[in-house]
Structure 1
Amino acid sequence: MYVQRLGEMLKISEENLKTSCSLSLKAQNFPDEQFLVEKSPASSHAFFSFPGSWSVDGWYSGDKAFGEKEINLELFPSMRSIGNYDKDDKPEDREFATGFVNQAFLHRLEHVLKTSQLVNQVEAALKEQKSIIFTGHSTGGAIAALATIWFLQNYPNANNGAFCVTFGSPLVGNHIISHALRREKWSQCFIHFVMRYDIVPRILLAPLTPIQQQFEKVLPFFNPTSPNFKSEVLGASPEALHFYANVIRNASSLTSHVAFQLMGNTNLLLDTVRHFTKLSPYKPFGTYVFCTGNGKLVVLKNPEAVLQTLSYSCLLSSETEHAAAIAHKCLNEHFGYEKEFLGDESSLDMQNVVDFDKLELLLGSDGYLDDLGLGVRARLSLCAAKKFEEKKQENEKNVASKVEAFKDVMKKLEDYRDFCKENGGYYQAFKTQGEKKDFDANVNRLVLAGIWDEIIEMLKRYALPDEFEGTYKWIELGTKFRDLVEPLDIANYYRHAKGRRYMDKGGRPKRYKYTQRWLEHHLKLQPGDCGKSSCFWAEEDESLKQ
């Protein structure tokens, strides 16, 4: 079993984790403040904490069942898939490639950025050469997470040592947010602590409609300014039980559906169920630290494993447990972080920590997984989540194994291009197809196109590691391929086009669109800036027709 100190594992000092917890809870006592900031000359860090929201409108807004909204790409330009995103796509198609976040949380952050001193305070802290830590408890954690993405996006040269540390935060965005954060290598900046039974991180796995009445009655339990704050009567009420049951039922439906997909189940019935049953779009991102309640901490970085753990760890763990008691406990545990991290028997002091990625998922007994209530079915789902990530790594290795053969074919086309420069030109020679060399070049073009089309298909299915499109060796290889081979594709296209334009929709192959977008994103250029060289001959051919 792989056990080490939590601070070493997360690359943040345990003292900063304790300070984050203290300040996130402190912010809840100042609900009228947009944020609190704490920094001292003796500290190398500046902490920004955000209070929570205790109205339904602070959780769900807009007309979507789960309160989600397409992210503002002007504010968060990296929160999309690089290759799959096309600004000209229809709105209903963009969910496949665009980050979606909770609308209420997004609007609150946008309001804070426009109306408060947050930007000025952050920039002042940076001038003092302080590392930034955003933190929050409950929905304050969700705002802290979005603020961290904003910071990483807007201060790329100042994010060394930046962290987001949340306690009992609800989920914030869809799978594209997780994908983009991992691609940008920002995912490790996010650390989320979750008590085993805390209901709040699970709430957005349920749509508003079936829980709204109970949610409105339960929210005062969490509100420090309410007479019903931590009310035993409210915690043990039928509304609390129904609220818990509805959230867990929806969470279970989602995680069961996801687990079947992870296991490769292609049953059409699953798609039918998805069509008629609204499933939450939210997915975890960053590092999650689950607190078992007895001093043990389980660290997970696999977003699919986190989702499964969120669902299964909050279920009744035995027939002797009473549902109403668990429902009450799920509300109370939202306040358990102070004792867990700042009490006399702090989990950070006990250092009973295990890394899920290094843990063998045996179906038999294991202390850490047992303490999270993860039985055989849960472990099978966790195994599937692990294997899903491993399959992505395996797919990349398979692609990498073809690189040398790929380069050999590229070399043949480079030699062909050099030969053609002295004999009428690369583009025109290939378009004419008058020599055997031209025929051989066409065969090599098709070989390379087949390899890259296979890569693009895997990217469309998100079957490669999230980091793939941001890895320089693939960006460089894709750029060389595009510059060398696309002119040949254009020549071939205009041999058979029959009046169609190469740059029109459906003309230019995605293998060139994707690799161009990778380079533009890497160089922080506008869409279209890097396509001029490889698409030159398409423009030339069109101009000759006019």
Structure 2
Amino acid sequence: MGTVKLGENMEIKVEVIKKACSMAMKAHKYPEKQYLFDKIRSSSSEVVFSFAGSLSVNDWFAGGSFGDMEVDLRLFPSLKYVGLDELGRVNEAFFKRFKAVLANPKFELEVKKAVDDRRKVVFTGHSSGGAIAILATVWFLEVNSRLPTHIEPLCLTFGSPLVGDRIINIALRREKWSRCFVNFVMRLDIVPRISLSRLSSIEHQLQRVLDYFNQNPQQTPADAPDFYETVVRNASSVANYAACKIMGSTNPLLETASSFIELSPYRPLGTYVFCTGTGKLVEISNADAVLQVLFYSSQLSTVEEKVAVAQTSLRDHLNYENYLKECLRTPTVTSLFHLHQEANVDMDLNDLGLSERASLCLRAADALERQKLRNQNTVDGKQMDIEKCLGDLERYKSKCSHKAGYYDSFKSSDQKEDFHANVSRLELAGIWDEIIEMLKRHELPDEFEGQEKWIRLGTRYRRIVEPLDIANYYRHLKNEDTGPYMGKGRPRRYKCTQKWREHAEKLPEEFPGSCFWAEVEELWIRSGSQGTRESILQLKNKVEKWIGEEEVGDDVLLENSTFMNLQRQHGLAS
């Protein structure tokens, strides 16, 4: 039957899309069931789980202006901005519905059996059922992505509302999961835009719209035009603010306005396939560009067409199965993968009803992604400088092992070699601080934090250089003004690189060996305090483990090191 090619290296069987859409619509007929499960008859390799949408406003918004909540890291440990420790936010009502599905032991058992049988698992849903499918796919990836026999799942949604914020999208791209999510959206379908509105502005109208979807009468709600206008107006606020940020606006009014105008946190994730209404399918995988399309493709050309467009926006939401059945007879998807390279991009944008301003916003979103890649190349070019400085410090450390040790020698800083080591320390601090600031400003690709070469280099940097920063901190008595190093003294560059490794290797958050000397210094300061001896014993027990893991060097055990002198002072040296 053929396949649908998406992006540069992804293909989906047409029969899988059709089956998923059919089951997504069928799930609405069985609202008492949490999900439906079926195999694709012509294939032995895929199984499909579909989730029904809800027709109650309470299942769309759970309190608050936009009904969002911080992710539950027990279920979704990857949905965060790792180094900066920012948690993603998801729709609370959708999350609660997914948790109810997960509480059903039969669901987990059927998913596990599909995994054990080496089948490709497809999660699908229409309307808010698509939101549940998205969360189910993330859960599946969290549980199974590290299995040696892991088969990538697929999430196909049809007219789904937005589920999570920008951090969720960043996390999915970092984990290389974003390609698992494909969202089909009819050009005028209003539902994918609903999450961009605060509940108070649409609550009563939304319930009447949901009732319309349930009864599916010929007559659309009388206030459908007002509902459509309100949703599009809210989408306009979000899209225009995002466009200003994309284009690098420095107008202070932008930040002033955002401080008192509450905007929706929700953003697109994965790949979007827009159904133009002219028989074409247009694919966009740039989340910033998708947001602009969601707004601009819903704009009215004239005030007079508001009633007709509002009616179409509701009817289209119920028409995915019929529309895709026609489109997929000769499945051709136009990909706006690289907007600056596409020859027929203007024609495709016209099919989506996009204005010249919309085209500028989409090109700006594409330009921003390309700029991030150039920034990555610039940062990659600094690897040699980092490696050189680290090599110099490793040679310095080797020389110090014949003296008082790496830490104590640097803290004394009475030799020429110590001065050169400090220069390397400062040079590295400048490079790494710049990298962390670029991450903070979202100037690097979303995948950066998950790149193995930078995780390894960051770990090596932290282990070699952080002891020197600690020595410098206590040598200059910064603790007397700022407090302990581990309180407010530890630079973000070390916290970030530590978190990268912990996340990549699924390690628990704990006191890092590279901060060993900070603990030693604090124990010296409170030498006469109660419990100090026990703390030294605990630290002594950790040292052997840290030496084995190369978190600290064995020079900490040199006869005259600060650590050994501390033990002797408390009668603990062997």
Is TM more than 0.5 here?
yes
Cα distance in 2, alignment partners of residues 501 and 68 from structure 1: 37
Aligned to 1:272: 256
Q: Deviations over 1:465-495 (max 9, x none)?
A: 1111111000001011111111110100111
Q: Does 1:518 align with 2:504?
A: no
The aligned amino acid for 2:163 is: V
Q: Does 1:105 align with 2:59?
A: no
The aligned amino acid for 1:369 is: L
Q: Deviations over 1:91-111 (max 9, x none)?
A: xxxxxx111100100000111
Cα distance in 2, alignment partners of residues 498 and 408 from structure 1: 31
Once the two structures are TM-superposed, the CA of residue 528 in structure 1 deviates from its matched residue by 1.9
The aligned amino acid for 1:242 is: D
Cα distance in 2, alignment partners of residues 11 and 361 from structure 1: 21
In the superposition, relative to structure 1, how do residues 498 and 23 fare at CA in structure 2: closer, same or farther (>3 Å)?
Answer: closer
Cα distance in 2, alignment partners of residues 450 and 6 from structure 1: 41
Aligned to 2:400: 420
Aligned to 2:127: 138
Aligned to 1:180: 171
Aligned 1:285-304 pairs, distance under 5 A: 285-304=269-288
Q: Does 1:190 align with 2:181?
A: yes
In the superposition, relative to structure 1, how do residues 398 and 8 fare at CA in structure 2: closer, same or farther (>3 Å)?
Answer: closer
Q: Deviations over 1:216-249 (max 9, x none)?
A: 22211111xxxxx2223224x2x10110000000
The aligned amino acid for 2:118 is: Q
Aligned length: 519
Unaligned runs of 5+ in 1: 86-96, 224-228
Q: Do the aligned partners of 1:493 and 1:502 also contact (CA within 8 Å) in 2?
A: no
- The secondary structure found in structure 2 opposite 1:358 is coil
Q: Does 1:241 align with 2:225?
A: yes
In the superposition, relative to structure 1, how do residues 56 and 116 fare at CA in structure 2: closer, same or farther (>3 Å)?
Answer: farther
Q: Does 1:505 align with 2:487?
A: yes
Once the two structures are TM-superposed, the CA of residue 361 in structure 1 deviates from its matched residue by 7.6
Q: Deviations over 1:334-365 (max 9, x none)?
A: 012111222xxx21222332111234489998
Q: Do the aligned partners of 1:470 and 1:518 also contact (CA within 8 Å) in 2?
A: yes
Once the two structures are TM-superposed, the CA of residue 6 in structure 1 deviates from its matched residue by 4.6
Aligned to 1:89: none
From 196, 204, 222, the counterpart of 1:213: 204
Aligned to 2:321: 338
Q: Does 1:376 align with 2:356?
A: yes
Aligned to 1:81: 81
Q: Do the aligned partners of 2:297 and 2:352 also contact (CA within 8 Å) in 1?
A: yes
In the superposition, relative to structure 1, how do residues 361 and 473 fare at CA in structure 2: closer, same or farther (>3 Å)?
Answer: closer
Aligned 1:429-448 pairs, distance under 5 A: 429-448=409-428
Cα distance in 1, alignment partners of residues 225 and 379 from structure 2: 51
Q: Which runs of structure 1 show a deviation greater than 4 angstroms over 4 or more consecutive aligned residues?
A: 6-9, 361-365
Once the two structures are TM-superposed, the CA of residue 504 in structure 1 deviates from its matched residue by 3.3
Q: Do the aligned partners of 1:295 and 1:352 also contact (CA within 8 Å) in 2?
A: no
Aligned to 1:43: 44
The aligned amino acid for 1:400 is: D
Aligned to 1:52: 53
Aligned to 1:314: 298
The aligned amino acid for 1:108 is: R
Aligned to 1:536: 516
- The secondary structure found in structure 1 opposite 2:33 is coil
Cα distance in 2, alignment partners of residues 412 and 393 from structure 1: 30
- The secondary structure found in structure 2 opposite 1:349 is coil
Q: Do the aligned partners of 1:501 and 1:542 also contact (CA within 8 Å) in 2?
A: no
Once the two structures are TM-superposed, the CA of residue 9 in structure 1 deviates from its matched residue by 5.2
- The secondary structure found in structure 2 opposite 1:409 is helix
Cα distance in 1, alignment partners of residues 181 and 324 from structure 2: 18
The aligned amino acid for 1:216 is: Q
Q: Do the aligned partners of 2:339 and 2:362 also contact (CA within 8 Å) in 1?
A: no
Unaligned runs of 5+ in 2: 528-574
Aligned to 2:218: 232
Aligned to 2:289: 305
Bigger Rg, which one: 2
In the superposition, relative to structure 1, how do residues 119 and 84 fare at CA in structure 2: closer, same or farther (>3 Å)?
Answer: same
- The secondary structure found in structure 2 opposite 1:449 is helix
- The secondary structure found in structure 1 opposite 2:360 is helix
Q: Do the aligned partners of 1:46 and 1:133 also contact (CA within 8 Å) in 2?
A: yes
From 358, 366, 379, the counterpart of 1:386: 366
- The secondary structure found in structure 1 opposite 2:487 is coil
In the superposition, relative to structure 1, how do residues 467 and 540 fare at CA in structure 2: closer, same or farther (>3 Å)?
Answer: same
In the superposition, relative to structure 1, how do residues 116 and 32 fare at CA in structure 2: closer, same or farther (>3 Å)?
Answer: farther
Aligned to 2:139: 150
Aligned to 2:548: none
Once the two structures are TM-superposed, the CA of residue 40 in structure 1 deviates from its matched residue by 6.2
Cα distance in 2, alignment partners of residues 78 and 112 from structure 1: 20
TM-score, structure 2 normalization = 0.87
- The secondary structure found in structure 1 opposite 2:37 is strand
Q: Do the aligned partners of 2:130 and 2:158 also contact (CA within 8 Å) in 1?
A: yes
Q: Deviations over 1:369-397 (max 9, x none)?
A: 10101111101111111111112111111
Q: Do the aligned partners of 2:67 and 2:91 also contact (CA within 8 Å) in 1?
A: yes
Q: Do the aligned partners of 1:58 and 1:105 also contact (CA within 8 Å) in 2?
A: yes
Cα distance in 1, alignment partners of residues 152 and 345 from structure 2: 38
Once the two structures are TM-superposed, the CA of residue 127 in structure 1 deviates from its matched residue by 2.0
Aligned to 1:88: none
Aligned to 1:92: none
Cα distance in 2, alignment partners of residues 134 and 99 from structure 1: 22
Q: Do the aligned partners of 2:122 and 2:156 also contact (CA within 8 Å) in 1?
A: yes
Once the two structures are TM-superposed, the CA of residue 319 in structure 1 deviates from its matched residue by 3.2
Percent identity, please. 48
The aligned amino acid for 2:120 is: S
Aligned to 2:457: 477
Aligned to 2:191: 200
Q: Do the aligned partners of 1:361 and 1:383 also contact (CA within 8 Å) in 2?
A: no
The aligned amino acid for 2:397 is: R
Aligned to 1:16: 16
The aligned amino acid for 1:421 is: S
Aligned to 1:350: 330
Q: Does 1:34 align with 2:34?
A: yes
